[in-house]
Amino acid sequence: MDFESYNPEPTLVVPEHITKRAKFPFIDVHNHQFRMGTMDLDSLIMEMEKLNMQVMVNLSGRGGEELVKMVENINTNEPKRFIVFTNINFNGVGEKDWAEKAVKQLETDIKNGANGLKIYKSLGMISKDIHGNRIPVDDTRLDAIWKKAGELKIPVLIHTADPKPFWDEMDEKNERWLELATRPGRKRGPDDPVPFEKLIEEQHNMFKAHPGTTFINAHFGWYPNDLKYLGSLLDKMPNMMIEFGAIIAELGRQPRTAYDFFVKYQDRILFGKDSWVPDEYVTYFRVLETKDEYFPYHKKYHAFWAMYGMGLPDDILKKIYYKNALRIIPGIDATLFPE
Ligand SMILES: [Zn+2]
């Protein structure tokens, strides 16, 4: 038997509160629906209803004509239940009028119904300018975009870098060994493309240079495993919000530290999930809402450890589930949510 197949059944008997539906209606600020222009929204709504997801934020709006089609489909069939963020194409950075065109496109997309901007991790990792050089996240040639987002009062949800262990030695000490073993393409290194710390530093530089723009740092900014440090970042950058897409396993292994963090930063945290697998939401609800102990996580390559619930009080749950998103993201109907 090898490590991957070792999967003993726990003999522990403790109370269980399997939470298939959130206690309050919620807004998922980190979702991807790439074919929203043509897809059947009613079947999507049926899945959302089961979870008590009142509003889904689709971060893959693409911009231009694609975005127009998505907004049309939403407005015709399911207005109020979907919000779309647009995206930016970084091809052509280095051309004299690139920023001007990108800003114009952003304005048009917002006019056409987008309510935010999503930046993929390709910025900083893959995107290159016309000279073939990597575009750093804090590249000043992009400044006009962040500034415009602030003027338009729309948030920028940004994913930068990847979990730190992807940069570390892939050995018996690496917590993401299984993920790297099964998905070797995710391995990074100091020159691939640059060190983890460099990407993170660039992102923070960019946040600090644009205090008038609200940024939602995806995946807890990749510091869900060091909440003290993440808290210090939130203290330093009041324009930074965070969401916990794909990192609930980190919170579920430190329920007491995470509880204190959620109490202290209750106005700065948004609900995000990322990959659309409805059955996986139960882990999120259970970690947030219950005080359950030693329950399983759904993806072994994220976490080979068991989960514990934080048991957050209702007033904090409401902020995480919808109040903070209502404050940050324009265009959501607040009457869909309780006081
Ligand atoms: Zn995502």
- CA 137 to centroid of chain Cα atoms: 17
49 Cα to the center of ligand 1, angstroms: 22
Phi first, then psi, for residue 211 (nearest 5°) are -65, -15
Helix (H) or strand (E) holding 30: strand 26-31
**What φ, ψ does residue 227 adopt, rounded to 5°?**
-70, -25
Distance (angstroms) between ligand 1 centre and the Cα of 295 equals: 25
**Ligand 1 centroid distance, CA of 246 (Å):** 9
Distance 15 CA to ligand 1 centre (A): 33
Going from the Cα of 163 to the center of ligand 1, the distance in angstroms, rounded, reads: 14
What is the distance between the alpha carbons of residues 3 and 168, in angstroms, rounded to a whole number? 20
* pLDDT given for residue 66 in this prediction: 97
Distance, CA 208 to ligand 1 centroid (Å)?
A: 23
Residue 112 has a pLDDT of: 98
pLDDT at 7: 86
The per-residue pLDDT for 1 is 87
**CA–centroid distance, residue 229 to ligand 1 (Å):** 23
Closest CA to 139 of 73, 209, 88, 87: 209
DSSP 280-334: GHHHHHHHHH----SB--S-TTT-SS-B------HHHHHIIIIIHHHHHSTT--G
Per-residue pLDDT of the chain (339 residues; tens, 9 = 90+): 887 788 889 999 999 999 999 999 999 999 999 999 999 999 999 999 999 999 999 999 999 999 999 999 999 999 999 999 999 999 999 999 999 999 999 999 999 999 999 999 999 999 999 999 999 999 999 999 999 999 999 999 999 999 999 999 999 999 999 999 999 999 999 999 999 999 999 999 999 999 999 999 999 999 999 999 999 999 999 999 999 999 999 999 999 999 999 999 999 999 999 999 999 999 999 999 999 999 999 999 999 999 999 999 999 999 999 999 999 999 999 999 999
Q: How far apart are the CA of 8 and the centre of ligand 1, in A? A: 32
Query: Which pLDDT value is given to residue 289?
Result: 98
**Eight-state DSSP code of residue 9:** P
pLDDT computed for residue 55 by the predictor:
98
**Burial of 31: CB neighbours in 10 Å, binned 0-12, 13-18, 19+:** buried
